[in-house]
Structure 1
Amino acid sequence: MPELPEMENYKIQLSELIVNRPITSIAINREKSINMPISTFLNQMENAFIIRIERRAKHLLFHLSNQKLLLLHLMLGGWMFYGKEDEKPKRTIQIQFSFGEKHLYFIGLRLGYLHLLTIEECEEKLKELGPEPFNPTFTEDLFINTVNTKRGTLKLKLVDQHFISGIGNCYSDEICYEAQLLPTRKLEDLKDHEIKNLYRSMKKTLAAATNIGGYMEHPLYVGDTKTGSYNDLCKVYDREGEACQRCQNKIRMVKISSKKSFYCPGCQF
């Protein structure tokens, strides 16, 4: 599932490709991917264009010229591709937005969705999200205070969108590795210096992954060499049996409440 770095990368690249460009046509091939009848969706989108793209947690918000917005959550298996008709992947397209001869294809939206909402409806839908790791207000002191009021397993809290927004299975493991903490540790057992190190590791890991392009395996457009570049740089995620880059012990996988978690038993404590 795309996480904060992947969605931030989408936001940055799509902002250059489609913002303020006329939407020449829209095709909805799966009505369940939207939140209203197709005819209503098309009527409300008539003459609208995208004026700004925002990211919150794992969502993209396409702000429209008609004072509404499109809320996108790709969920498991969802991705996007931008290009000409003859460039599109040989996959089932659930939604297609056309911008002249180029199109934005929404692919794999079996669990994901693209909902047309008012700003107030969107705020209500996202109000339970936890703090954004990149928000300037998300300080070390705030993080320490938050951790000190919570209980639970480190891995599960990191992927809890009410605790901190935008982190999923991949980056929770990478953050724990960077902080040299076992994902099975309990929040209430972390020492002050470990919490501070966890905060810094979170900021460092997410920033690096975002700058590199995240781990998505599908390029956004033909010639896109950025998207997915972090995939080969993961230290532990999906690296079971490989040697740890730090201590050479073999990476292990453990299930924590049915979630796979990868870690190094030699240098995470």
Structure 2
Amino acid sequence: MPELPEMDNYRIQLSNHILDLPISNIVINREKSINLEPADFTDALLGRQVIFIERRGKHLLFHLDNGRRLLLHLMLGGLLYLGSSEDRPNRSTQIEMIFNNGIVLYFIGLRLGYLHLHTAKEAEELLSGLGPELFDRKMNEERFKAIFSKRRGSLKTALVNQEIIAGIGNCYADEIAFAAGLRPSAKLQNLTGEDLSRLYQAARDVLIHATEAGGYMELPLTKDDKLTGGFNELCQVYDREGEKCYRCGDEIVKTEISGKKVFYSPGCQHEY
């Protein structure tokens, strides 16, 4: 599932291509991916312009010039592609957004995800249950430590809980735990203040690095996109079961915590 780095990569790149372009057509191939009747959804978007793109957790918010919002959640398997009918990937699309310069934004794999149209107030209410953003200007090490020191249970479960910190999922939870030298199974109640400080810095470092490397999405956003997916080769533990740890040489282990797959290096990640 796309996480903070993947969605931020999309946000940054799309902002360079589609802002202020009038929407000339909408093609809806799967009605369940939207929240209105297809004709109403289309009529509401024709002629509108995306003036700003915001990321909130794992969501993208397309701010329209009339104050409304398109709320996107790709869920598991969702992808975006921006291009033409000639260079688009050979995959089924659920929604196609055509701009007046002929460029098309393809929403791919939205069988679990969605693109919903809301008022600004509705969108705010729908996202109100999300926890704070790690890179919010109000977030700092002390606030981060206060949030996690009040929690119990495993580190992995807490990191992927969107009500605690928004935007982190399976991949980056494991990468953050590795960078902090902590096992994903470590109990929060056993972590010291020093552990939490290290965790805060690890979370920032991993997410910044992953965003700069384009995240782990398999499909480039455009035909000229050389960035998206660059983090695939940089993962330290995620999806590396049985391979050697780059840090200690031990073998990467795969297990499960609360039904979620977990990767870690037993040689250099500690549980306390």
* TM-score category (smaller protein): over 0.9
Per-residue deviation, residues 63-117 of structure 1 (Å, max 9, x unmatched): 0011101000000000000111111111111000112322100000000000000
**Which residue of structure 2 aligns with residue 135 of structure 1?**
136
- Report the RMSD for the aligned CA atoms in angstroms: 0.7
Q: Is the 8 A contact 2:53 2:62 kept in 1?
A: yes
SS at match of 2:135: coil
Give the superposition deviation at 1:46.
2.6
Write the letter of the residue equivalent to 2:214: G
Write the letter of the residue equivalent to 2:66: N
Write the letter of the residue equivalent to 1:108: G
Q: State how many pairs are aligned.
A: 269
Write the letter of the residue equivalent to 2:195: E
**Which residue of structure 2 aligns with residue 56 of structure 1?**
56
**Which residue of structure 1 aligns with residue 39 of structure 2?**
39
Q: TM-score, normalised by structure 1?
A: 0.99
Q: TM-score, normalised by structure 2?
A: 0.98
Bigger shift: residues 201-210 or 92-101: 92-101
Q: Is the 8 A contact 2:22 2:46 kept in 1?
A: no
Q: Tell me, in whole angstroms, the C-alpha distance in 1 between the residues paired with 2:164 and 2:187.
A: 14
Map 1:140-179 to 2 at 5 A: 140-179=141-180
Per-residue deviation, residues 24-49 of structure 1 (Å, max 9, x unmatched): 11111111000011011112113211
Write the letter of the residue equivalent to 2:143: L
Percent of matched pairs sharing the same residue: 52
Per-residue deviation, residues 214-233 of structure 1 (Å, max 9, x unmatched): 01111001021100000100
Write the letter of the residue equivalent to 1:64: L
Per-residue deviation, residues 110-147 of structure 1 (Å, max 9, x unmatched): 00000000000001000010010111211100011111
Q: Say yes or no: does 1:10 pair with 2:13.
A: no
> Any stretches of 5+ residues in structure 2 without a counterpart?
none
Q: Tell me, in whole angstroms, the C-alpha distance in 1 between the residues paired with 2:102 and 2:56.
A: 30
> Any stretches of 5+ residues in structure 1 without a counterpart?
none
**Which residue of structure 2 aligns with residue 26 of structure 1?**
26
SS at match of 1:10: helix
Per-residue deviation, residues 140-159 of structure 1 (Å, max 9, x unmatched): 00011111211111001000
**Which residue of structure 1 aligns with residue 188 of structure 2?**
187
Per-residue deviation, residues 190-209 of structure 1 (Å, max 9, x unmatched): 01100100000000000000
Q: Tell me, in whole angstroms, the C-alpha distance in 2 between the residues paired with 1:222 and 1:24.
A: 22
